[in-house]
Amino acid sequence: MAAHRIIFANEKGGSGKSTSAVHAAVALAVKGHKVSALDLDTRQRTLGRYLDNRAALMKRDGLDLAMPAYHTFDPAQRVEIGESLDQLAADADYLIVDTPGRDDDHVRAAIASADTLVTPINDSFVDLDLIGQVDPDNYKIKRPSFYAELVWDARKARAKQDGGTVDWVVMRNRLQHLEARNMRRVAAALNELSKRVGFRVIPGLSERVIYRELFPKGLTLLDLAAIGQDAGVAHIAARGELRELIAGLQLPEAAAAPSREAEPA
């Protein structure tokens, strides 16, 4: 069975794309699945560096953590993007791909190959503008934006290629904890646009300092028990967000080894 391909893509930077991709990859690996990850952002290499840090910590401290196989795509090696995707997907249950915050041929090829396309956005009209233009007076959607058209073209290409479908998921990151008028307006606009363009909306990850603090060691919220660290209230809440994120993706279940997840104290 071919790996289920999960592509994290958004042309706008700062949406939490790489953080979400890394945590999704590790969360699936912790459950016993064979996971591969590909970083298409050859400049920032956030996913690749995150997992480099993880590998270094495991080696230094002798830790046995769930670890995806991973690779950073390098166009200079003259390897076709399709070949890189196929190689990583060949021996995996899930393939996670993190893309740069720009539009290029490699990103489009990855989106066209997706089984699940995840577009993280911050909970604001600035980020919503990526996929739909909003009327400034009544906050109704006027028309889909360029990125929505790009995804539509990728979906058509996928259907023509192998008859497959792309499940497009828009993930609302950094949700406000307090109910606000702007939050309700964004939610209403997203709901309207989802019906017109064809995507699902799920909650993502909040703005939490702990996500940034974990990066230098390559750790995730699921590793606290393995390193003997107690979980605070914020950690427990963030773990709940991550579980809800994975559940919201509605991924097909692959055969898995016993789960490696343990609840922290």
Tens of pLDDT, residues 171-211: 998 765 545 777 888 889 999 999 999 999 999 888 777 88
Q: Are 180 and 123 in contact (CB under 8 A)?
A: no
Model confidence over 26-84: pLDDT tens digits?
999 999 999 999 999 988 899 999 999 999 999 999 999 999 999 999 888 878 899 99
Q: For position 86, what pLDDT does the model report?
A: 93
Q: Are 47 and 21 in contact (CB under 8 A)?
A: yes
**Has this prediction a pTM greater than 0.75?**
yes
Phi and psi at residue 176, to the nearest 5°: -70, 140
Model confidence over 237-249: pLDDT tens digits?
888 889 999 999 9
Amino acid at position 69, single letter: A
Domains with residue ranges and CATH for the chain: 4-249 (3.40.50.300)
Amino acid at position 77, single letter: Q
Amino acid at position 57, single letter: L
Q: For position 263, what pLDDT does the model report?
A: 47
**CA angle (109, 192, 18) in 5-degree steps:** 40
Task: Give strand ranges (E) for 84-232.
Answer: 94-98, 116-122, 132-134, 141-144, 167-173, 200-203
**If you ran DSSP here, which 8-state letter would residue 228 be given?**
T
What is the pLDDT of the chain when averaged over all its residues?
Answer: 88
Model confidence over 94-139: pLDDT tens digits?
999 999 988 889 999 999 999 999 999 988 888 889 899 988 888 8
